[in-house]
Amino acid sequence: MADCLTLKKSNCKNCYKCIRHCPVKSIRFSGNQAHIIGKECILCGHCFVVCPQGAKEITSETEKVKVLIQSGDPVYVSLAPSFIANYDGVGIGAMREALLKLGFAGVEETAIGATIVKREYDRLLAEDGRDVLISSCCHSVNLLIQKYFPQCLPCLADVLSPMQAHCLDIKRRIPQAKTVFIGPCVAKKDEAASYGGIVDGVLTFEELTQWMGEAHVTITPAQTEEADPAGLARFFPTTGGILKTMAQNAPGYTYLAIDGVENCIAALRDIESGKIHHCFIEMSACVGSCIGGPVMEKYHRSPVKDYMAVAGFAGKEDFPVAQPDASGLHKQMPPIDRQAAQPSEAQLRDILRQMGKVKPSDELNCGSCGYNTCREKAVAIYQGKAEISMCLPYLKDKAESFSDSIVNNTPNGLIVLNEDLEVQQINPAARRIMNIRSASDVLGDQVVRILDPQIFIEVLNTRRSIRDRRVYLAEYMKYVEQTVLYDAEYHLLICIMRDVTDEEDARTKKEAISRQTVEIADKVVDKQMRIVQEIASLLGETAAETKIALTKLKESITDE
């Protein structure tokens, strides 16, 4: 398969939107990046359309086409009839004039090839007598059948697409001509690459518009463009457009049109099970058919307006084109093996167990990972296409289990309040501090039931957190350090309480001991001072008596 869709790795944000919208789940996730699995992809372009980051890109062939033009060979454009919806108010004349300025030798409508193809469908129904016949114009539908419903291949018309039929017609008429198809479809790039020698290049309308912008070529709508009575096949890009061009006169056949991959898959399952008979089924992978193609849908999504533009441009008669021999209109579409290994039931159960799905009731089948069921996701994990972490309930349970483990085992009390000061969450440590038997006793109640709300009101009014405020909870005879935080994003108040009762008791005891020590010291000092004073008094009396005695002795000696 041609590498028509690529990924900008830096843009992929691991949102899983592409896998949710991929009808065949042909996307692999590795390293938080999406990777398109070429052997499984049907190139419907859904991932390109829905990617919110623009991570999916359609591979451009603009340079390849420029090289074709520079080669000197005449390069002719096969222009998809949906151009009338993509380029508002522009007819084939204006498109031809603009494309010739880019260097193309000529421009024709792919609807000419559609005329050839619808005639072959009518012939097959009339002459081959097939029970069920499915149109082969949409390459994505062809790939869907080749890869996922190979039993329905006998029902698929082995007929060239209008693009291929028209490009072969151009090459029959114009020797040495090269052909370039321009349309709204990414799958046509792969179709051109898969059947060499028919279509030499494929551009999307987006690529053409960008090229014309770089070359300063503008499409100038003609004042008047005569309506071509031919051109009934211009209806081909609309749902039921193929049927509108067909005779629908094969006896006993029902003619119906189905669009959208999901509807096509449902119809193919019915065909596979033998529930449908004697039908011609026009199948289109895109809702609305080609005017709802990926490039149209992403940049120019106006289904009613687009249909009216096509209907107004379509003629009432077939293009006057010679019908080639039927043998030159057939192509081989063999089954394409996807080679996807399937796990055993034991392996599947083991993967489900790793996803946290241990019993059937755990399999929510929510689809958040992009897969329809948990078992389908488990198969994708086995095949290396998905990762266990893609399961949202699994991640949620894992995150909750981790956070709950922390919250429930932390020694600090945690209380979460809403802005109405109602208790939203309370952990075991907080319940122990406040002697609350069960969280259900207070959840949803006003916090005033269990705590003084003043600190919460203060934080709510100021939007400023308060940290490590020590308070005494008299009702519980506990001292705590309260930290109250305000979560502006979720409008919550978070209270963290550290029980410091033991610390406070120890501090009180220490202070009491200190006071007692000071008191004892004061008493000792006082007593010592009294003793000193008493000693001093006694010493004073003795000294006086000694002085008197010595004085008398001195006088006595002097007298002698």
pLDDT band at 110 (very low <50, low <70, confident <90, very high): very high
Alpha-carbon distance 250 to 254, whole Å? Answer: 9
Going by pLDDT thresholds of 50, 70 and 90, the confidence category of residue 514 is: confident
Nearest-angstrom CA–CA distance, 213 and 207: 10
Q: pLDDT at residue 280 above 90?
A: yes
What are 477-494's pLDDT values in tens digits?
Answer: 999 999 999 998 888 999
Phi, psi angle pair for 414, to nearest 5°: -125, 130
pLDDT higher at 260 or 541: 260
Q: Tell me which DSSP letter residue 230 carries.
A: B
**Three-state secondary-structure class, residue 404:** helix
Instruction: Report residue 283's pLDDT band, with 50, 70 and 90 as the boundaries.
Output: very high
Among residues 270, 280, 254, the alpha carbon closest in space to that of 155 is found at 280
Half-sphere exposure of 4 (CA within 13 A, CB side): 27
Nearest in space to 17 (alpha carbons), one of 388, 368, 298: 368
At 533, the pLDDT band (50, 70, 90 cuts) reads confident
DSSP 389: G
Q: Tell me, what's the pLDDT at 52?
A: 85
Cβ neighbors of 446 (< 8 A, separation 6 or more) are 420, 421, 422, 423, 453
Instruction: Find out whether 290 and 250 touch, Cβ atoms under 8 Å.
Output: no
Q: Looking at residues 523-537, what average pLDDT do you find?
A: 81
Q: What is the average pLDDT score of the chain?
A: 88
HSE of 473, CA atoms in CB hemisphere, 13 A: 24
Look at residue 224 and tell me whether its pLDDT is greater than 60. Answer: no
pLDDT above 80: residue 192: yes
pLDDT digits (tens, 9 = 90+) for 164-190: 999 999 999 998 999 999 999 999 999
User: What confidence score (pLDDT) does residue 15 get?
Assistant: 80
Write down the pTM of the prediction. Answer: 0.71
Percentage of residues of the chain with pLDDT beyond 70: 93
Strand partners, 479: 472
Q: Is the pLDDT of residue 223 over 70?
A: no
Average pLDDT over residues 227-238: 86
Least confident of 4-8, 83-87, 190-194: 4-8
Q: What does the pLDDT average to over 151-164?
A: 96
**Can you name the residues that pair with 103 across neighbouring β-strands?**
none
| Of 200, 201, 220, 199, nearest in space to 101 by CA | 220
Q: What is the mean pLDDT of residues 144-155?
A: 96
Reported as a pLDDT band with limits 50, 70 and 90, residue 515 is confident
pLDDT at residue 535, as a whole number: 82
> For the segment 413-442, what is each residue's pLDDT rounded down to a tens digit?
999 999 999 999 999 999 999 999 998 899
Strand pairing report for 478-487 and 492-499: antiparallel
Q: What is the per-residue pLDDT across 445-478, written as a single tens digit (0 to 9) for each?
A: 999 999 999 999 999 999 999 999 999 999 899 9
Cα separation, 418 vs 426, whole angstroms: 12
pLDDT tens digits, residue range 371-391? 888 888 888 888 888 777 777
The single-letter code of the amino acid at 256 is L
406-421 pLDDT, tens digit each: 888 888 999 999 999 9
What residue type is 518 in one-letter code? V
184 closest CA partner among 145, 132, 133, 236 = 236
